[in-house]
Amino acid sequence: MSLKINGQVIPENIIVQEMNKMRDKYIESFPDQNRMQREKQLFEWAKENILERHLLRQYAIDNIDVKQEELEAKYGNFSENVDSEKLAQVREKIKIEKLLQAIYRNSEEVIAKEVRSYYRDHIEDYKIPEKVHVKQISMGHPDNSRQENKAALAKIKKAKRELDKGEKFVVVAKKYLQCLGRGFDLGYISRDKMGPDFEKVVFSLKKGEISDIIETPYGYHIAKLYERQAEGLVPFEQVKNEINEKLEAEKKTQALEKFVDNLKKDANIEYIEPINKAISATKGFKFDKPLDFILVKPTGSDCNMTCEYCFYLDKQNYFGNKQHRMNEVILGKMIEQAAYQSEGHLNFGWQGGEPTLMGLDFFKRAIELQDKFDNVKFGNSIQTNGLLLNQDWARFLSQNNFLVGLSIDGKKHVHDKYRKDKDGKGTWGKVKNNAEMLLANDVEVNSLSAVTDYSVNYPQETYDFLKDIGFKYMQFIPIVEQGREGKKATSFSVSGEKYGKFLCRIFDLWKDDFTHGQPTTSIRFFDAVFHKYVGKEPPECFLKKECGGYIVVEHDGDVYPCDFFVGPDWKLGNIAEKNMLEMLNSDKQKRFGELKLELADQCKNCKWMKICRGGCTKDRIKDPRDENLSHFCQAYKIFFEYADEDLKNLAKRYQEKQSRGGLC
């Protein structure tokens, strides 16, 4: 919805920009409000803010005079060559300042009686609650294992015995805590800043007294009370100036609101619905899933290679054997619609087939279209086989901060086993050279390496090769495809057992490269799993409880829930006819996401289920030996049994570092 104020059109994206400026503060003020209510209210307030600002601006321009000496007094002398547009902007700014000064001058003056009355009426706001200065020895954590918390209890009991013998509190704390940073000295705190179990004990202590062991949901604690500050009242003399300023500001605001209300009565205000309602930001108010990532297939399944294991080449049967290219109309609609419906940040993942077949000019145009929306922060990534890349591509990708996923399976004998061009020739030499060229041009590049029945036998060789080229970010993608007869996995598919052993070896190589306790290479699978170990939501959909958090836009504008499920059964619609945000939150997308909840019986009682969540949905149907059981179930069991203890230790070190706040 756009605004038309006395004939001047205010585009909807200006309202969206205002919403984005207000959003963080609004959420802070109303944290429990659901997204639909929040976005509706934000839109209304943003619209009113813009309406009021433009009415004031229009009135100031038409009714306030600015003399030359006022310009010079504020901004100095202007030469004859000064930019006329800049001069007009300066005049406008002074006019608005003069108008506001006149409005505020007419506001009622605050008198002393009002200040005193406000203090008396709001006396609760000036009460100082009772506070105590407390230090604590704290051990254990709700995220720890039962065994770890049992050890923490034994340790804190030992500390308490030493305190009971007369040892100084700080001495014992230093002995048993790794760091006397945040969490040791709590400072002066009131009752409302403590949990009930802790508060009950602490406020009953006398000055200098040490508590018994206190058990709370956050662990075990021993507290010492150092000082007690009684409840009191902030003196009137101390806050009267603050109250006076507050009342002055309120009266100025009231005067401004009264002035603007009068302008509204005489103004001609129209609300214009967009011609293409699919791009309306208001469409997004009722949805829970934000539109923040779109996977784009601008060339459909078209590719200049014929990799034997490629799952997307078969989409030719669905799209037809013609050439597939996204035209500029669909590109423009997709970016425009996404920009209006996003929450201020949006990532495009350009994949194929082979997206570079679109040519460099297509992607330059995409960036031009994105740049029109300065209220949205765009990110772009591209997944490519690398054959068409050159210096021009490298400069473009570097200048526009593209993240590049480059498909390279390993050394020549590994890569060329399945990755061949249209003539059946290996592609390793060109891909390797272009990988080095991208890295030399400071392009951010990840290696994408398929793990097949062949490459699975060379984990160390592949890891060392990628590292030697210069890759610091690696992704290993296990391959499983269903045979054409639909009975079992193809011969090039990697078995669960072999993939599990492959992961274990890569894990050891990854750990061996640590420096000062920190990884020097990033393995996407390990990074995703680590999120689980530190209690965070993993970024990868295959480890989430449900999937369906993004959409795929094909070359013709058709939308699907996942590129592994592009087909008539899961088509959500087309961007020329439907709203992408609606499709992302549609019943069909929800049903797709819930497929992941249909677990095999043995998954439900598996100790690793909370980490792997049954794996990717597509891996359960590519090898239908057991209903709803992932082809890589055995791989996950092998890997987690092998790496669990190390991952727990890494997570513990990470959490300790976070809790110390970098103080130690």
Active-site residue flag, 563: yes
Helices (H), 236-380: 236-266, 316-319, 328-341, 360-371
Q: What are phi and psi for residue 275, nearest 5 degrees?
A: -60, -45
Structure token pair of residue 342: 């996003």
Query: What element of type H or E holds 565?
Result: none
Beta-sheet strands, E only, within 365-472: 377-384, 403-407, 444-451
Q: What is the amino acid identity at position 4?
A: K
Torsion angle of the four alpha carbons 249, 254, 257, 259, in this order, in degrees rounded to the nearest 10: -110
Residues 168 and 160 sit within 8 Å (Cβ to Cβ):
no
Please give, one letter per residue, the 3-state secondary structure of 187-242: EEEEHHHCCHHHHHHHCCCCCCCECCCEEECCEEEEEEEEEEECCEECCHHHHHHH
Catalytic annotation, pick one of 302, 409, 563, 619: 563
For residues 414 and 454, what is the distance between their CA atoms, to the nearest angstrom? 7
The CA distance from 445 to 436, in Å, is 10
Q: How far, in Å, CA of 496 to CA of 633, rounded? A: 7
Is residue 558 a contact partner of residue 571, using CB atoms and an 8 Å limit? Answer: yes
Neighbour-count burial for 131-150, b at 16+ CB within 10 Å, e otherwise: bbbbbbbbbbbeebeeeebe
- HSE on the CB side for 287, CA within 13 Å? 23
Give kind and range of the element (H or E) at residue 523.
Answer: strand 522-523
Give CA separation, 101 vs 207, 247, 350, 537, in Å.
55, 17, 53, 51
Task: DSSP for 45-104, please give it.
Answer: HHHHHHHHHHHHHHHHHHH----HHHHHHHH----TTS-HHHHHHHHHHHHHHHHHHHHH
Query: What is the DSSP-derived secondary structure letter of residue 645?
Result: H
With both helix axes pointing from N to C terminus, report the angle between 496-512 and 459-469 in degrees, rounded to the nearest 10.
Answer: 40
Token reading at 140: 């254990």
Q: What distance in Å separates the CA atoms of residue 120 and residue 141, rounded to the nearest whole number?
A: 45
What tokens were used for 459?
Answer: 């984990």
Helix (H, G, I), strand (E, B) or coil at 5: strand
The two three-digit tokens of residue 587, written as one number: 């019943």
Instruction: Give the residue among 456, 476, 478, 457 at the shortest CA–CA distance from 466.
Output: 476
Compute the distance between CA of residue 327 and CA of residue 348 in angstroms, rounded to an integer: 17
Contact predicate 13/47, CB 8 Å: no
Tokens of 157: 């009991």
| Dist CA 5 CA 59 (whole Å) | 12
146, containing H or E segment: helix 146-164
Catalytic residues: 563
